Amino acid sequence: MDRRDFLKRSGAAAAVAGTGLGVSGLAHGKSTIKWKMVTTWPKNFPGLGTGANNLAKLITEMSGGRLKVKVYGAKELVPAFEVFDAVSRGTAEMGHASAYYWKGKVPEAQFFSTMPFGMTANEMNGWIYYGGGQELWDEVYEPFGVLGRPAGNTGVQMGGWFNKEINSLEDLKGLKMRIPGLGGEVLKRLGGTPVNLPGGELFTALTSGTIDATEWVGPYNDLAFGLYKAAKYYYYPGFHEPGTILEALINRKAFEKLPKDLQSIVLNACRVVNMDMLAEYYARNPGALDQLVDKHKVQLRAYPDDVLRQLRKVSAEVAEELAGQNQAAKKIYESYQGFLDSARKFSRISDLAYLKARDE
């Protein structure tokens, strides 16, 4: 339906509503808009896939069925890593993914996903919503006709699954590991081989020896994929993903065709899911970790302090290098880094000081 038709019909329905007759005409009449949402996750995958489902359900419910969104898992409509292109060309009106998957096409998009030793979930939300991050994100996706919005966050992830202990940087040399985004670049600098695979392929790749190690998300998600059956050591912390944003991708033309109230519903549903997913991770990760350790006898290991220190140094170099790739990347890096420097001063005397006081 084109915009003119839509306005005509909704106008007619509003006129009827104004007379006090048949308000339900708009909700149940011919004005239903149908959208597709493609995702990089296996259908219904805990946290990520169900987050996409929640987003679709919220939009459908909040709009009283005027905008119905149907979710497709990875490969159902398009392969996992073609989600961005599918939304850009309008094959689907929405997508659910994470921005670092598009680093080959838009390297600076990685800032809107997560950065090694970068911001936590709360800090990312602060930067995106109130620190100028969203405006920069809009500029990056503008040429592709796509809007990106935070629609989920994993919190601090786990370091990953290994079949050997990591006692020094030497142990990372020659390691073929699934690790996306800039974390992968860090591994490459240290002599490893980063591989990017969709979540649904990790278990097979690890058991078949296609990769030596993998990270995924955290206990809740890693338990669901059964990664403990393929690797023995589970490392923390996930220095490479300290607060990864899952993004809702929205085709700009499709969005602009919506009346204002439906636009607001789409954007606010993203905000709700952004908060909701993080809450779910905080609720489910602790119990899943207990299961991994107590039931499946997973060996939990902390990266040695010295290894973390060196990873931090290389991470800073990799981020600076990304900033040097183009003008947009430089501008985003400066904004991101400025916000982080300022946030760090406060988090030291708030979150960090409090958690230390509470738990040590």
Q: Using CA atoms, how far apart are residues 47 and 331, in angstroms rounded to an integer?
A: 32
- Compare residues 246 and 249 and give the one whose CB is closer to Ca ion: 246
Question: Judged by CB, which is closer to Ca ion: 93, or 215?
Answer: 215
Sheet containing strand 67-72, strands side by side:
67-72, 33-39, 94-97, 245-251, 146-153
Q: Which stretch binds Ca ion (CB under 5 A): 11-19, 43-51, 124-132, 154-162?
A: 154-162
Stretch of residues binding Ca ion (CB under 5 A), selected from 9-17, 36-44, 237-245, 250-258:
237-245
Q: What is the closest distance, in whole angstroms, from the C-beta atom of residue 274 to Ca ion in the complex?
A: 17
**Nearer CB in complex with Ca ion: 190/328:** 190
CB of 41 to Ca ion, least distance (A): 12
**Per-residue CA distances from 80 to 83, 165, 218, 294, 326 (Å):** 6, 31, 20, 33, 27
Choose the binding region for Ca ion from 66-74, 128-136, 234-242, 335-343 (rule: CB under 5 A): 234-242
Least CB distance to Ca ion at residue 13 (A): 45
**Alpha-carbon span 291 to 301, nearest angstrom:** 16
- Rounded least distance, CB 156 to Ca ion, Å: 11
Nearer to Ca ion, 82 or 241 (CB): 241
- Binding segment for Ca ion (CB under 5 A), chosen from 9-17, 55-63, 128-136, 153-161, is 153-161
Nearer to Ca ion, 215 or 276 (CB): 215
- Rounded Cα distance between 209 and 212, Å, is 6
We find the least distance from the C-beta atom of residue 190 to Ca ion, in angstroms, to be 18
Q: Which of these ranges, 18-26, 152-160, 189-197, 331-339, lies near Ca ion under the rule CB under 5 A?
A: 152-160
Helix (H, G, I), strand (E, B) or coil at 126: helix
Closer by beta carbon to Ca ion, 157 or else 274: 157
Nearest to Ca ion of 25, 116 (CB atom): 116
Least distance from C-beta 218 to Ca ion, angstroms? Answer: 8
* Cα–Cα distance measured from residue 50 to residue 276, given in angstroms and rounded to the nearest whole number: 11
Q: Find the helix packing angle between 181-189 and 305-323, rounded to 10°.
A: 110
Region near Ca ion per CB under 5 A, out of 95-103, 236-244, 274-282, 283-291: 236-244
User: How far apart are CB 358 and Ca ion at their closest, in Å?
Assistant: 27
How big is the site for Ca ion, counted in residues (CB under 5 A)? Answer: 3
Could you tell me how many helices (H) and strands (E) the chain has, helices first?
A: 14, 11
Stretch that binds Ca ion, among 72-80, 149-157, 193-201, 257-265 (CB under 5 A): 149-157
For the bound state, the minimum distance from the C-beta of residue 158 to Ca ion, rounded and expressed in Å, comes to 8
Q: Measure the CA angle with vertex 235, ends 234 and 241; round to 5°.
A: 120
Phi, psi of 68 (to 5 degrees): -100, 125
Tokens of 327: 């003008």
Question: CB of 291: closest distance to Ca ion in angstroms?
Answer: 19
Computed from CA positions of residues 213, 215, 216, 222, in that sequence, does the dihedral angle turn out positive or negative? positive
Q: Which residue, 175 or 254, is less far from Ca ion as judged by CB?
A: 175
Helices of type H across the chain? 3-18, 24-28, 48-62, 83-88, 121-125, 133-141, 181-189, 202-208, 219-224, 252-257, 260-290, 305-323, 327-349, 351-359
CB nearer Ca ion, residue 72 or residue 225: 225
* 171-230 binders of Ca ion (CB under 5 A): 215
CB 245 within 8 A of CB 153: yes
Neighbours of 324 (CB within 10 A): 10
Judged by the rule CB under 5 A, the positions of this chain that interact with Ca ion are 157, 215, 241
